[in-house]
Amino acid sequence: MSGPAGVALPDVVRDPALPAAVRIWEVGPRDGLQNESGIVPVEVKVELIARLVAAGLRIVEATSFVRPEWVPQLADAEQVLGALHLADGDVRHPVLVPNARGLDRALALGARDVAVFASATETFSRRNLNRSLAEAHEMFAPIVSRAKEAGLGVRGYLSMCFGDPWEGRVPVAQVVAAGRRLLDLGCDELSLGDTIGVGTPGQVAALLAAFGDAGVPVSRLAVHFHDTYGQALANTLAALRCGVTTVDSSAGGLGGCPFAKSATGNLATEDLVWMLDGLGIDTGVDLRALVETSTWMAAQLGRPSPSRVVRALSGAREPKEPQ
């Protein structure tokens, strides 16, 4: 089928076993751009966020208050967050706060939503946070507590849920224990990350079932898949069949992890929306506007978008020079 301005749209075949609506947690401006080799200008980041909101995304993660020497691509966190209208209606701009200083910086700028980033494995916790799992838990406890006291929404990210490049297979019980610790601290929801993209649908179903067996309702879980092995959409569909209704994705498929070199791009938001549109699942997102946004962003970065949907709907054109 064809939609507005000639943009193809998928035929809709509704599966009543799937959720009627899915909340997309857009991570492109933070998780996507943190892995760029160059520094994206503040004005480009702010325009990207504005375009994503205009396309219908209600949650657009803005930045991370990490130390600049760790992730220089996000050294402009104050400028980016300061340029946003954080009190605008139903639009949310969460920010990552890796430590107490990061929370101080976020609070000073009026952030309404923050996230902490933990690991399911000991090795990655030490590489990413320079702390053991126990030490990271101790560090996050006062951060989550202070954020909740200030009335902020708090999300917990859990990385390496399906595999670790140093430790290999990660036992399900280990992931559930690490996730429960974050929720018990007071996190409102938990995003389960396949940081290096090795997960498969069976693993996804098994992990979600294990969280259910541990007393964690699926309504408090989100999924965050990387597409390293081409499994991100299949894994997302498996999660939807288990009742998950919050899915993380990155416009244009940008992203990775600067502390795990085997982690390639995130699930592309356009690829996700195409699938959800075809399943008759409401997202509130205008696919045409989203594709235009990622085509524009590809031009800013000087390379084509890795998203298959962006490339298909834009005719796989090479990006033009930024205007």
Question: CA nearest 30: which of 56, 66, 57, 83?
Answer: 66
CB within 8 Å of 93: residues ≥ 6 apart: 49, 60, 61, 62, 81, 84, 86, 111, 112, 113
Q: Which candidate, 79, 86, 21, places its Cα nearest to that of 53?
A: 86
Amino acid at 134: A
**Radius of gyration over every alpha carbon of the chain, rounded to an integer in angstroms:** 18
Decide if 202 contacts 237 (C-beta within 8 A). no
DSSP 270-284: HHHHHHHHHTT-B--
**What contacts 6, CB < 8 A, 6 or more positions away?**
none
Q: How many helices (H) and strands (E) does the chain have?
A: 11, 9
Any idea which residues carry the catalytic annotation? 257
How far apart, in whole angstroms, are the C-alpha atoms of residue 56 and residue 272?
A: 14
